[in-house]
A and B are shown apart, each in its own frame.
Chain A
Amino acid sequence: MTRALPTAAGSPNAKHRSAIQTAFIRRTAHAIERLAAQADEATLVEAMSAPTDVGTLARVLVDVGAIDSAVAEIDADAVDLAAEIQHRANIMRRAGGTLSADEVGKLLNISRQAVDKRRRSNRLLAIRQGGDWLYPRAQFHEHETIPGLPEVIQDCAESGPWVTLEFLVTEDDALGGLSPRAALLKGGELRDSVATLLRGQSSGEGFA
């Protein structure tokens, strides 16, 4: 963990950091050093198995936050936030990761401009990360989007892309234990069942 700071300071962009960026890095690096000191070896080993660096940090935060009541009492929101980051990492893992806009264009055999156009018209699901749009793999099957994808994106639009993705890849008893993605791929009555779930979700006034 302590290697992170020298590496960051030595990065090509280090000279161009603003004062707030530098302060942010110092403060968070200090927190990471404390986390490394507090967590036991098993926790660190488990955290290092996360597929992303953000996932690694989230796992340690959740674990140490749960153990260290001082952290939890002083900054309970931080522990909750870390748990949410870990949950989002789990959703993304179940979604099979993401593709860039260029990769989506190649997969669907369409131009980069056509990818952007589909995203803007709610026919592709994308998550903004930094300045880029990332496209979860779960919305694709072979060289096409899964059937009914635009309806899913449209009906979940008010809740945002993360809720949409969680809906798409999470098993549901109302679908016989299948995820909406799997149900849409199977088609037939299951596709109607997904449409019913979406109606219930958007109206949100009855019991499903």
Chain B
Amino acid sequence: MSSTGGASGPSGIAAPPPPWLASRSLPILVIPLGTPLFRVHQTGHGPIFFGPPINPLTGTRQPPTNRFDSLTGAFGVLYAGAQFEGAFAETLLRNPRRRLVSQRYVAQRAVSELAADSGAKQPVIPIHSSH
């Protein structure tokens, strides 16, 4: 899920897309009313958050951090999973070779269940990678 927040799409020095992309349509999915989406986030932040965060001093987004963040900061991304287990694993158990997660780290995070209401048939982009 992405939010443009002013600018319309990536710009700047990002690498050009591969040639095959021109013939592909963007796989936008309109989720049915009430479909739950699960999001794990810091308890101090709201459940709706498009990152990376914007620096209040410069008005620009902080550098890309997560897998599908905009390289140029032109749009924000809200990460959510169709299942709680997926959102939990992607945020707290990212590297399966690591097995330690501190209790304090978990305690400082919350899980929110999001659902599109009747006034906002939110289009989302299903994204996948080899990770």
Query: Chain A: residues with CB nearer than 8 A to chain B?
Result: 84, 87, 91, 158-160, 162-163, 166-167, 170-174, 196, 199-201, 203-208
Contact = CB atoms under 8 A, between A and B. Distances in A.
B85 to A, nearest CB: 13
Contact of B67 (A91, A205, A206): A206
A67 B30 CA distance: 50
B102 interface: yes
23 contacts: A87-B99, A158-B105, A159-B101, A159-B102, A159-B104, A160-B104, A166-B98, A170-B97, A173-B95, A196-B63, A196-B64, A200-B65, A200-B66, A203-B52, A204-B40, A204-B42, A204-B105, A204-B109, A205-B42, A205-B79, A207-B68, A207-B79, A208-B66
Given A196-B63, A199-B63, A206 B79 contact: yes
A208 B66 CA distance: 5
Nearest to B49: A205
A138 to B, nearest CB: 14
Interface residues of B, number: 35
Contacts of B52: 203
Nearest to A195: B63
B96 to A, nearest CB: 9
Contacts of A87: 99-100
A110 to B, nearest CB: 30
Contacts of A173: 95, 131
B92 interface: yes
Contacts of A162: 100
Contact of B41 (A84, A174, A205): A205
A158 B102 contact: yes
Contacts of B91: 204-207
Interface centre among B42, B62, B91, by most A CB within 10 Å? B91
Contacts, number: 87
Contacts of A204: 40-42, 91-92, 105, 109
Contact of B94 (A163, A166, A208): A208
Contacts of B63: 196, 199
Interface string B85-116: 00000111011011111101100110000000
Nearest to A91: B100
Interface string B20-59: 0000000000000000000111100100010111000000
A161 B28 CA distance: 43
A207 B63 CA distance: 15
A205 B102 contact: no
B53 to A, nearest CB: 8
A207 B99 contact: no
Given A158-B105, A173-B131, A203 B97 contact: no
